[in-house]
Amino acid sequence: MTEAATSSQRLLVVSGGLSHERDVSLRSGRRVTGALRRHGLETEERDVGPDLVRALRDDPPSCVLPLLHGEAGEDGALREVLELVGVPYVGARPAACRLAFDKSVAKVVVAQAGLQTPASVALPAETFREVGAAIVMDTLVERLGLPLVVKPARGGSALGCSVVRARNELPAAMVGCFSYGPVALVEQFVAGAEVAVAVIEDGPSARTLPAVEIRPDSGIYDYMARYTAGATEFVVPAEVSDDAGAACAYAALTAHRALGLRDLSRSDLVVDADGTVWFLEVNVAPGMTETSLVPLAVEAAGLDLGTVCAGLVARAIARGAER
Amino acid sequence: MTAPPPVPGTGPDGLSASAGPPGPPGPRTGHHTRFDAYVDRYATRTRGMTASEIRALFSVASRPEVVSLAGGMPSLSGLPLDAVAATVRDLVATRGATALQYGSGQGEPGLRQQICDVMAIEGVDGHPDDVVVTVGSQQGLDLVTRIFCDPGDVVVCEAPSYVGALGVFRAYECEVVHVEMDGQGLIPEALRQALARLAEIGRRVKFCYTVPTYHNPAGVTLTAARRAEVLAICADYDVLVIEDNPYGLLGFAGEPPRPLRADEGGRVVYLGSFSKTFAPGLRVGWVLAPHAVREKLVLAQESSTLCPPAFSQAVVSAYLADHDWRGQVKQFCELYRERRDAMLEALTEQLPTGARWTRPDGGFYVWLTLPAGLDAKAMLPRAVTARVAYVPGTAFYADGFGSRCLRLSYCHPTPERIREGVRRLAAVVERERELRETFGAGAGPPHLETGYESPTPDLT
């Protein structure tokens, strides 16, 4: 672990924002703020708004923890602002965030790095309008098969995401997806164990935390299953074979490195019946709520969330502002 | 693979403290957790108390960048806060020992008399003995439901109905039967048919819950002729009526409509509130009920809260006595009328053909029906992206209907903000219509869930 953050430092957790995941972000912000304060670090929470940049310039914090989810948070926009102002922050740089946040782009990058990822097509709503939705949907089903997963190419918390098991369910899934974002990712559904693996860089090199397996009672890890305590069973470490477990860790590290991520990321994977690991997406600002996966993995690794966050902060401060 | 059940209480958040026994080669054995050690112990009625995408979206609506047409907070900007402060200061200084003490379970006698004076304005002749003060009329409805309804009992409501009432009925595990409304309120013939059908199948209706005046969310008012019909039908089928009247004094033209209770004392339980005429933060409402019902309500109130807050009651009582509260209500009406006008004008100018909406004569809400094929709940994320919020219609139905409808409130935003909000909404509707056209009929919502989808009460 790098040098510890010191008590004279003042940290700023930025959460909230205007994305569809505002509520999740506020919960993440509260949890991380609490963990850092218990660790003895002076930490403030702040929403994104017209007064943010003025506050950062007038009274720069020692380090910012951007805990915005969804647009503006994970697409790198806020981090661009932090670099512009010259404040150290925890997490990946803007260009890497842009790659990672767009699932269709991230999948290409990780596939080039040798990972398996389900076959998929990314299409904006306009394309369906221009060339005819029915024939495109027919072709999607012919080429990719069923079931399919439809989700916004950019977005999180499974918002706008649905599993399509029959052709006639596809139009509704597309409409539901396009309410959340302009581009849809239509992906082959891979059955198997859903597993999330966090990568942290709290030492000289990146390492993985224990894999968390997700077993939603409803069968689908949707918004309700994510944020209702009790609605999903989590198993950590994931009950997969040792080989598959190692392959999950390898996949998460490979994605983290291939996309040029930094400090912390969480990869969402599926282990199919053959033990093959499939990459679905990676999060540059993973959820930190009471029902989120990264804090669970931190605990399972025998670590304290405040200590881990403080370690990341210390690294960010040592690194200094990006210019 | 069968996972062992979670072991409650074995560690923080139900995380079991130790791993299972070392397993054979192959799959590893992990710790199992659900982040809730009590997941297997909750009462059946908590089913459905889950996180909701829709409620999460309302969190964005509270931001100033968003024009919220979703909330139901009254506009308190006109209240004479200095004068109220002086009243409260005087209250504490001179009568603090009483105002800060426990009070009567039924509520303070002086306030109950004043409540009768308030009801008399609308033509209701009530006696202070028959008034029970409650923590907002919401608690009044809770107590009424508590003393009348067993799980599975039938409650008849308007379609759509007040979301807070549906929440109470769900909490007591009632079965809600909706009865259709039109521009003149509840349709008597539809009510008669519903009651006949329920009688036929041997279902006893415990009561009919109605908001006859300036309906939330529908924005319509039951006509005088229909009021008599509704009372007659309920008498025919021997059904109790719960009349919820929080907006009665907030009309925009003429005298307030005569409440059902004004013409029928024995069959109507009346709910009133100071939340819209004075201050919702004080949480003071009331129930006016026939003697036998009132006796049970007082006992239920004592087991619920011991007594309604004495301090809040004292503040309301002093405000009514010391201030021109009726003049203040007139000012509120002017403010809301101006906002209603702004909303109706903007809707007429901006909304595409195929959309229709109600024209309220009072209260806070316009009920909007989208062009055919659109779904208000599915459209909400797009609206939030466009920085405008509303409540999808399904929140006001216990049975998943209302997907083509939404509630717009004009009580809190200024006329300028209302116009801007409607402009944004119109663009969202247009975009959503294009999308529906692209994907054709049958592109309904991917899943139909009913549950906790109303905004929190503190949403503007």
Tens-digit pLDDT profile for residues B152-178: 999 999 999 999 999 999 999 999 999
The verdict on A18 and A78 lying in the same domain is yes
Using an 8 Å CB-CB cutoff, list chain A residues near B13: 290
Q: Is residue A4 part of a domain?
A: no
Output the average pLDDT for chain B: 91
Beta-carbon separation of A23 and B387 below 8 A = no
Whether pLDDT at B316 is above 70: yes
Distance (Å, rounded) from C-alpha A21 to C-alpha A68? 8
Out of B59, B60, B439, whose CB is closest to A175? B439
Whether pLDDT at B7 is above 90: no
DSSP annotation string for A279-312: EEEEESS---STT-HHHHHHHHTT--HHHHHHHH
Catalytic residue among A181, A268, A292, A311: A268
Specify whether A266 is catalytic. Answer: yes
The verdict on A102 and A222 lying in the same domain is yes
Q: What is the pLDDT of residues B217-240, one digit of tens each?
A: 999 999 999 999 999 999 999 999
Partner B, chain A 8-27, Cβ-Cβ below 8 Å: 16, 18-24, 26
Distance (Å, rounded) from C-alpha B388 to C-alpha B418? 10
Q: How does DSSP classify residue A207?
A: E
Out of A26, A125, A230, whose CB is closest to B34? A230
The verdict on A229 and A259 lying in the same domain is yes
Beta-carbon separation of A180 and B381 below 8 A = yes
Specify whether A283 is catalytic. Answer: yes
Q: Which residue of chain A is at minimal alpha-carbon distance from B378? A: A176
Q: Could you give the angle at the alpha carbon of B58 between the alpha carbons of B244 and B248, nearest 5°? A: 20
Q: For every residue of chain B, which 3-state class applies, written as one string? A: CCCCCCCCCCCHHHCCCCCCCCCCCCCCCCEEECCCCCCCCCCHHHCCCCCCHHHHHHHHHCCCCCEECCCCCCCCCCCCHHHHHHHHHHHHHHHHHHHCCCCCCCCCHHHHHHHHHHHHCCCCCCCHHHEEEECHHHHHHHHHHHHHCCCCCEEEEEECCCHHHHHHHHHCCCEEEEEEEECCEECHHHHHHHHHHHHHCCCCEEEEEECCCCCCCCCCCCCHHHHHHHHHHHHHCCCEEEEECCCCCCECCCCCCCCHHHHCCCCEEEEEECCCCCCHHHCCEEEECCHHHHHHHHHHHHHHHCCCCHHHHHHHHHHHHHCCHHHHHHHHHHHHHHHHHHHHHHHHHHCCCCCEECCCCECCEEEEECCCCCCHHHHHHHHHHCCEECEEHHHHCCCCCCCCEEEEECCCCCHHHHHHHHHHHHHHHHHHHHHHHHHCCCCCCCCCCCCCCCCCCCCC
Catalytic residue among A194, A201, A222, A281: A281
**CA distance to partner chain A, nearest, from residue B65 (Å):** 8
Q: Which of A151, A175, A293 is the best mutation test for B, with the most CBs of B within 10 A?
A: A175
Q: Are A273 and A240 in contact (CB under 8 A)?
A: no
**CA distance to partner chain A, nearest, from residue B143 (Å):** 29
CATH code: domain of residue A279: 3.30.470.20
Q: Is residue A34 part of a domain?
A: yes
Specify whether A222 is catalytic. Answer: no
The verdict on A177 and A200 lying in the same domain is no
Neighbours of A248 (CB within 10 A): 28
Distance (Å, rounded) from C-alpha A315 to C-alpha A82? 16
Task: Find all residues with CB under 8 Å of B97, minimum gap 6, and list them.
Answer: none
Task: Find all residues with CB under 8 Å of A158, minimum gap 6, and list them.
Answer: A151, A221, A222, A223, A226
Q: Is residue A5 part of a domain?
A: no
Beta-carbon separation of B15 and A296 below 8 A = yes
User: pLDDT under 70 in chain A at which residues?
Assistant: 1-7, 323
Specify whether A21 is catalytic. Answer: yes
Q: What is the pLDDT of residues B54-108, one digit of tens each?
A: 888 999 998 999 999 999 999 998 899 999 999 999 999 999 999 999 999 999 9
Q: How does DSSP classify residue A82?
A: H
Q: Is residue A199 part of a domain?
A: yes
Match 């508590």 to its residue by tokens. Answer: B146
Looking at residue A7, its pLDDT comes to 55
The verdict on A112 and A124 lying in the same domain is no
Q: Is residue A3 part of a domain?
A: no
Out of B59, B64, B446, whose CB is closest to A176? B446
Task: Find all residues with CB under 8 Å of A258, minimum gap 6, and list them.
Answer: A109, A110, A112, A113, A115
Q: Which residue of chain A is at minimal alpha-carbon distance from B452? A: A224
Q: Are B3 and B32 in contact (CB under 8 A)?
A: yes
DSSP annotation string for A89-138: BSS--HHHHHHHHBHHHHHHHHHHTT-B---EEEEEHHHHHHH-HHHHHH
Beta-carbon separation of A133 and B438 below 8 A = yes
Neighbours of A111 (CB within 10 A): 13
Looking at residue B451, its pLDDT comes to 60
Whether pLDDT at B268 is above 70: yes
Q: Which of A15, A19, A23, A148 is the best mutation test for B, with the most CBs of B within 10 A?
A: A23
| Least confident residue range of A109-123, B381-395, B430-444 | B430-444
Neighbours of B365 (CB within 10 A): 25
CATH code: domain of residue A125: 3.30.1490.20
Distance of CA B270 to the CA centre of its chain: 16
- Touching check for A234 and chain B: CB below 8 Å? yes
From A157, A188, A219, the end of a domain falls on A188
- Touching check for A243 and chain B: CB below 8 Å? no
Q: What is the pLDDT of residues B30-48, one digit of tens each?
A: 999 999 989 889 998 888 8
- Touching check for A213 and chain B: CB below 8 Å? yes
Beta-carbon separation of B434 and A129 below 8 A = yes
Mean per-residue pLDDT, B330-345: 97
**CA distance to partner chain B, nearest, from residue A37 (Å):** 19
Q: What is the pLDDT of residues B111-130, one digit of tens each?
A: 999 999 999 999 999 999 99
- The token duo for B125 is 């002749």
The verdict on A206 and A292 lying in the same domain is yes
The verdict on A106 and A48 lying in the same domain is no
From A188, A222, A239, the end of a domain falls on A188
Mean per-residue pLDDT, B199-208: 97
Looking at residue A203, its pLDDT comes to 83
CATH code: domain of residue A86: 3.40.50.20
Residue A84: helix, strand or coil by DSSP? helix
Task: Find all residues with CB under 8 Å of B158, minimum gap 6, and list them.
Answer: B178, B179, B181, B185, B186, B209, B210, B211, B215, B218
Catalytic residue among A287, A292, A306, A315: A287
Distance (Å, rounded) from C-alpha A133 to C-alpha A150? 15
Out of A24, A176, A224, whose CB is closest to B378? A176
Out of A213, A224, A231, whose CB is closest to B30? A213
- The token duo for A227 is 């944020």
The verdict on A51 and A23 lying in the same domain is yes
**CA distance to partner chain A, nearest, from residue B323 (Å):** 40
Distance (Å, rounded) from C-alpha B179 to C-alpha B364? 22
- Touching check for A229 and chain B: CB below 8 Å? yes
The verdict on A108 and A230 lying in the same domain is yes
From A173, A188, A203, the end of a domain falls on A188
The verdict on A104 and A241 lying in the same domain is yes
Distance of CA B333 to the CA centre of its chain: 20
Partner B, chain A 148-167, Cβ-Cβ below 8 Å: 159-160, 162
Specify whether A299 is catalytic. Answer: no
Out of A162, A299, A300, whose CB is closest to B446? A162
The verdict on A45 and A103 lying in the same domain is no
Distance (Å, rounded) from C-alpha A162 to C-alpha B449? 14
Q: Are B107 and B132 in contact (CB under 8 A)?
A: yes
Q: Are B385 and A70 in contact (CB under 8 A)?
A: no
Q: Which of A215, A234, A242 is the best mutation test for B, with the most CBs of B within 10 A?
A: A234
Catalytic residue among A27, A93, A98, A266: A266
Q: Is residue A79 part of a domain?
A: yes
Q: What is the pLDDT of residues A9-45, one digit of tens each?
A: 999 999 999 999 999 999 999 999 999 999 999 999 9
The verdict on A55 and A132 lying in the same domain is no
Whether pLDDT at B19 is above 80: no
Q: B136-148 and B163-171 are packed helices; what angle lies between their axes, rounded to 10 degrees?
A: 40
Ranges assigned E (strand) in chain A = 10-14, 42-46, 63-66, 120-124, 148-152, 162-164, 183-188, 193-200, 207-208, 212-216, 232-236, 264-271, 277-283
Distance (Å, rounded) from C-alpha B280 to C-alpha B70? 17
Using an 8 Å CB-CB cutoff, list chain A residues near B59: 22-23, 26
Q: Are A74 and A157 in contact (CB under 8 A)?
A: no
Distance (Å, rounded) from C-alpha B419 to C-alpha A222? 35
Instruction: Provide the sign of the torsion angle of the four alpha carbons B115, B117, B121, B127, taken in this order.
Output: positive
Q: Which of B1, B50, B377, B380 is the best mutation test for A, with the most CBs of A within 10 A?
A: B50
Beta-carbon separation of B381 and A160 below 8 A = yes
Beta-carbon separation of A174 and B443 below 8 A = yes
Mean per-residue pLDDT, B244-251: 97
Out of A20, A162, A234, whose CB is closest to B60? A20
Q: Is residue A222 part of a domain?
A: yes
Beta-carbon separation of B56 and A22 below 8 A = yes
Q: Is residue A244 part of a domain?
A: yes
The range of the structural domain enclosing residue A102 comes to 98-116+190-300
Q: Read off the pTM.
A: 0.91
Looking at residue A182, its pLDDT comes to 94
Specify whether A268 is catalytic. Answer: yes
Distance of CA A148 to the CA centre of its chain: 21
Beta-carbon separation of B56 and A18 below 8 A = no
Distance (Å, rounded) from C-alpha B440 to C-alpha A301? 50
Q: B217: closest CA among B347, B80, B421, B411?
A: B411
Structural domain count, chain A: 3
Q: Could you give the angle at the alpha carbon of A125 between the alpha carbons of A124 and A129, nearest 5°? A: 125
Whether pLDDT at B1 is above 50: no
Residue A43: helix, strand or coil by DSSP? strand
